[in-house]
């Protein structure tokens, strides 16, 4: 059952497995939807599934690239994009194109995890108004853990939006995405 995170051994492998599983859950939330449904905002929030999908992909690629490059700076081709969530929600991208972009980001995320050599390496904190000024660095392991936390938060948002669109929850969607009759396990 793809809903359950696979077992892994070793700290880096566990971090990678959890991050990739949450990214897979995000992808599953759009299974079988039309472009119109994927852009729907059926709740009080302005968030939609395409924006959340694109943001989650960028989170994985960006933060894993920072950890892989530590203590240096990541190269632009290794970290996806750095677009604000609000901008991703308002795009005119088709769901198919958003999935292709997301899959590229997930591939980069996996490659970046494989390139991490020191989980204790310092990762410089970029300038942003939401980071405390006195914070100078994180450990690479913090950045990799942050991927799972951030993506899981948004998978929860996506689950609510998807259930509001057509009533399908994550268990049913996982089964459908895996080609299994929902509830047959």
What is the pLDDT, as a whole number, of residue 72?
87
Number of CB atoms found within 10 A of residue 101's CB: 20
Residue tagged 């410089």 (tokens): 124
Does 185 score more than 70 pLDDT? no
Q: What's the pLDDT tens digit per position in 64-107?
A: 999 999 998 877 666 556 666 666 667 789 999 999 999 999 99
Does 130 score more than 90 pLDDT? no
Whole-structure pTM value:
0.92
Separation of alpha carbons 139 and 154, rounded Å: 23
Separation of alpha carbons 179 and 12, rounded Å: 30
Separation of alpha carbons 173 and 152, rounded Å: 16
CA distances (Å), origin 90, targets 85, 96, 98, 106, 124: 9, 16, 12, 22, 30
What is the pLDDT, as a whole number, of residue 83?
66
Q: What's the pLDDT tens digit per position in 3-47?
A: 678 899 999 999 999 999 999 999 999 999 999 999 999 999 899
pLDDT band at 148 (very low <50, low <70, confident <90, very high): very high
């Amino acid at each position: 059952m793809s809903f359950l995170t696979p077992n892994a051994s070793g700290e880096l492998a566990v971090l990678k497995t959890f991050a990739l599983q949450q990214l897979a859950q995000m992808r599953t939330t759009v299974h079988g939807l039309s472009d119109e449904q994927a852009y729907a905002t059926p709740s009080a929030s302005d968030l939609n599934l395409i924006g959340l999908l694109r943001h989650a992909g960028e989170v994985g690629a960006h933060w894993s690239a920072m950890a892989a490059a530590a203590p240096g700076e990541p190269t632009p081709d290794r970290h996806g994009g750095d677009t604000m969530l609000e901008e991703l929600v308002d795009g005119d991208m088709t769901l198919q194109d958003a999935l292709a972009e997301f899959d590229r980001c997930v591939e980069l995320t996996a490659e970046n995890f494989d390139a991490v050599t020191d989980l204790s390496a310092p990762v410089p904190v970029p300038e942003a108004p939401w980071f405390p000024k006195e914070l100078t660095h994180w450990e690479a392991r913090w950045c990799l853990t942050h991927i799972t936390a951030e993506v899981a938060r948004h998978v929860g948002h996506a689950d609510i939006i998807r259930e509001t669109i057509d009533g399908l929850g994550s268990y049913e969607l996982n089964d459908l995405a895996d080609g299994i009759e929902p509830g047959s396990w």
